[in-house]
A and B are shown apart, each in its own frame.
Chain A
Amino acid sequence: MIATAPAPTAVEPREHYLNAGYGVKSWLLTTDHKRIALLYLASITLFFVLGGAFAVLVRLELVTPEGDLMRSETYNKMFAMHGLIMVFFFLIPSIPAVLGNFLLPIMIGARDLAFPRLNLASWYVYTLGGLFTLGAATTGGVDTGWTFYTPYSSTYSNGAVIATAIGVFIVGFSSILTGLNFIVTIHKMRAPGLTWFRLPLFVWAHYATSLVIMLGTPVLTAAILLVGIERMFGIGIFDPALGGDPVLFQHLFWFYSHPAVYIMILPSMGVISELIACFSRKRIFGYNLIAFSSLAIAALGFLVWGHHMFVSGQSVYAGIVFSFLSFFVAIPSAIKVFNWIATLYKGSVSYDTPMLYAMGFIGLFTIGGLTGLFLSTLAIDVHVHDTYFVVAHFHYIMVGGAMMGYLGGIHFWWPKISGRLYPEGWGRFSALVIFVGFNLTFFPQFILGYLGMPRRYHVYPEEFQVLNVMSSAGATILGVGYLIPLIYLVWSMRYGPRAEANPWGAKGLEWETASPPPKENFEQTPVVTEEAYNYARESESDVSKLNRAISSV
Chain B
Amino acid sequence: MGEGFPLFPEQASTIAEGVDQLYAFLVAVSVFFSVLIFALIFYFAIRYRRRSDLDMPRPIHGSTALEIFWSAVPFVIVMVMFGWGASLYFKNSRPPEGAMDMHVVGKQWMWKIQHPEGRREINELHVPLGRPVRLIMTSEDVIHSFYVPAFRIKMDVLPGRYTTAWFEATKTGKFHLFCAEYCGNEHSRMGGAIHVMEPHAYDLWLSGVEAGESMAEIGERLFHDLRCDTCHRPDGGGRGPTLDDVFGRSVALSGGETVIADEAYLRESILRPRAKRVAGFQPVMPTFQGQVSEEQVMEIIAYIKSLASEGERRLAR
Known: A76-B187, A382-B153. A376 touches B48 (CB 8 A): no
User: Quick one: closest A residue to B158, CB to CB?
Assistant: A313
From A289, A334, A374, A454, contact of B26 by CB (8 A): A374
**Cα distance, A72 to B186, chains bound together (Å):** 6
Q: Decide: A151 and B142 in contact? CB cutoff 8 A.
A: yes
Nearest chain-B residue to A334 (Cβ)? B74
Interface residues of B in 46-98 (CB under 8 A from A): 48-63, 66-67, 70-71, 74-75, 78-79, 81-82, 84-86, 88-90, 92-93
A399 at the interface (CB under 8 A from B): no
A67–B6 Cα distance when bound, in Å, is 24
A543 to B143, CA, bound (A): 66
Cα A545 to Cα B71 with chains together (Å): 38
> How far in angstroms is the closest Cβ of chain A from B132?
17
Give Cα A166–Cα B160 distance, bound, in whole angstroms: 28
Q: Are A348 and B57 in contact (CB under 8 A)?
A: yes
Q: Which of B58, B63, B86, B185 contacts A72, CB < 8 Å?
A: B185
Chain A residue with Cβ nearest B152 = A383
Contact, CB under 8 Å: B143 / A548: no
Residues in chain B near residue A331, CB distance under 8 A: 71, 74-75, 78
Known: A156-B142, A324-B86, A379-B19. A285 touches B182 (CB 8 A): no
Of the stretches A26-34, A199-207, A518-526, A534-542, the one at the interface is: A534-542
**Residues of chain B with a CB closer than 8 A to A111's CB:** none
A280 at the interface (CB under 8 A from B): yes
Closest-by-CB residue of B relative to A71 is B185
Query: Which residues of B, 202-249, contact A by the 8 Å Cβ criterion?
Result: none
CB interface residues, B 1-57, toward A, < 8 Å: 5-9, 18-19, 22-23, 26, 29-30, 33-34, 37-38, 40-41, 44-45, 48-57
**Are A311 and B156 in contact, CB atoms less than 8 angstroms apart?**
yes
Given A72-B185, A327-B79, A546-B54 in contact, is the A379-B89 Cβ separation under 8 Å?
A: yes
Cα of A363 to Cα of B34 in the assembled complex, Å: 7
Query: In the complex, which range does the number of interface residues on chain B fall in?
Result: 35 or more
When the two chains form their complex, are residues A452 and B70 in contact, meaning their CB atoms are under 8 A apart?
no
Contact B163 A376 (CB under 8 A): no
Expressed in whole angstroms, the Cα–Cα distance for A373 and B34 within the complex equals 13
Query: Is A451 touching B149 in the complex (CB atoms < 8 A)?
Result: yes
B67 x A454 contact (CB < 8 A): no
The answer for the CA separation of A533 and B147 in the assembled complex, in Å, is 52
Interchain CB contact under 8 A, A246 and B158: yes
For the complex, what is the distance from the CA of A319 to the CA of B85, rounded to whole Å? 11
B180 at the interface (CB under 8 A from A): yes
Interface string of A128-163 (1 = CB under 8 A from B): 000000000000000101010101100111000000
- A330 and B189 form a contact (CB under 8 A): no
CB within 8 Å for A334 and B71 given contacts A313-B163, A380-B26 = yes
Cα separation A535 to B50 with both chains bound (whole Å):
14
**Does the CB pair A548–B147 fall under 8 Å?**
no
B37–A323 CB distance below 8 A: no
Q: Give the docked Cα–Cα distance between A451 and B86 (Å).
A: 22
Q: Residues of B contacting A381 with CB < 8 Å?
A: 85
| Interface membership of A351, Cβ < 8 A | yes
Question: Please, which residue of chain A has its CB at the minimum distance from the CB of B157?
Answer: A313
B 284-302 binary contact with A (CB < 8 Å = 1; else 0): 0000000000000000000
Whether B154 sits at the interface, judged by CB under 8 Å, is: yes
B-side contacts of A283, CB under 8 Å: 59-61
Closest to A360 in B: B41
Bound CA–CA A157/B6 (angstroms): 37
Binary per-residue interface labels of chain B (146-183) against chain A in the complex, 1 for a CB within 8 Å, 0 otherwise: 01011011111011110100000000000010111111
A348 to B145, CA, bound (A): 53
Question: Which among B55, B180, B183 has the greatest number of chain A C-beta atoms within 10 A?
Answer: B180
Give min CB distance, B92 to chain A, whole Å.
Answer: 6
Is the Cβ of A350 less than 8 Å from the Cβ of B75?
A: no
Q: Closest B-chain residue to A242, C-beta based?
A: B160
Would you call A497 an interface residue if the criterion is a C-beta within 8 Å of the partner chain's C-beta atoms?
A: no
A362 contacts the other chain (CB 8 A): yes
- The 8 Å CB contact of A536, one of B56, B88, B187, is B56
Would you call A378 and B74 a contact (CB within 8 A)?
A: no
Check B161–A377 contact: CB distance below 8 A.
no
Whether a CB of chain B sits under 8 angstroms from the CB of A461 is yes
* CA gap between A156 and B78 in the complex, in Å: 40
Contacts of A466 in B (CB 8 A): 5
List which A363-388 residues lie within 8 A (CB) of chain B.
Answer: 363, 366-367, 370-371, 373-374, 376-383, 385-387
Considering only CB atoms, which chain A residue lies closest to B73 in the complex? A334
Verify A378–B89 contact, CB threshold 8 A: yes
Closest to B4 in A: A466
Binds B, one of A172-180, A212-220, A335-343: A335-343
Contact between chains at B155 and A351 (CB < 8 Å): no
Q: Interface code A217-242, partner B: CB below 8 Å = 1, 0 otherwise?
A: 00000000000000000000001110
Contact with B along A541-553 (1 / 0, CB 8 A): 0100110110010
CB of A457 within 8 Å of the partner chain: yes
Cα–Cα, bound, A245→B158 (Å): 10
Residue A98, interface by CB 8 Å: no
Q: Is the CB of A311 within 8 A of B82?
A: no
A124 beta carbon closer than 8 Å to chain B: no
Would you call A456 an interface residue if the criterion is a C-beta within 8 Å of the partner chain's C-beta atoms? yes
In angstroms, Cα B179 to Cα A239, docked, is 20
B53–A549 CB distance below 8 A = yes
Residues of B within 8 A of A151 (CB): 141-143, 159
Per the bound structure, the CA–CA distance linking A461 and B66 in Å amounts to 49
Q: Is the CB of A334 within 8 A of B155?
A: no
In the assembled complex, the Cα of A338 lies from the Cα of B66 at a distance in Å of 9
Contact (Cβ within 8 A) B71 A378: no
Task: Report B-chain residues with C-beta under 8 Å of the C-beta of A247.
Answer: 158
B188 within 8 A of A: yes
Task: Evaluate contact between A458 and B60: CB separation under 8 angstroms.
Answer: no
Contact B85 A377 (CB under 8 A): yes
- Contact present for B40 and A545 (CB under 8 Å): no
Residues from chain B with a CB closer than 8 A to the CB of A246 are 143, 158-160
Residues A341 and B89 in contact, CB atoms below 8 Å apart: no
A381 to B88 Cα, complex, angstroms: 11
A549 to B53, CA, bound (A): 6
Contacts of B45 in A (CB 8 A): 344, 349, 351, 359
Query: Which chain A positions have C-beta within 8 A of B92?
Result: 379, 382
Q: Mark A66-83, 1 if CB is under 8 A from B, else 0.
A: 010000110010000000
A327 to B41, CA, bound (A): 25
Interface residues of A in 440-477 (CB under 8 A from B): 447, 450-452, 454-461, 466
Q: Is the CB of B78 within 8 A of A452?
A: no
When the two chains form their complex, are residues A456 and B60 in contact, meaning their CB atoms are under 8 A apart?
Answer: no
**A-side contacts of B8, CB under 8 Å:** 450-451
Docked CA distance A366–B31 (Å)? 10
Interface contact A370-B29, CB-CB below 8 Å: yes
Contact (Cβ within 8 A) B56 A323: no
Contact yes or no, B149 A342, CB < 8 A: no
A316 to B38, CA, bound (A): 37
Contact A380 B59 (CB under 8 A): no
Identify the 5 closest CB pairs spanning chains A and B, nearest first: A452-B149, A240-B160, A377-B85, A378-B89, A348-B55
Given contacts A72-B186, A533-B59, A536-B59, 11 further A-B contacts (CB under 8 A): A247-B158, A287-B61, A311-B156, A327-B79, A330-B78, A341-B37, A345-B44, A359-B41, A370-B33, A378-B85, A382-B153
Report 15 cross-chain contacts, Cβ distance below 8 Å, ordered by A residue. A76-B187, A151-B142, A311-B145, A320-B89, A323-B89, A327-B78, A331-B74, A335-B71, A359-B41, A371-B30, A377-B81, A378-B88, A382-B19, A454-B178, A460-B188
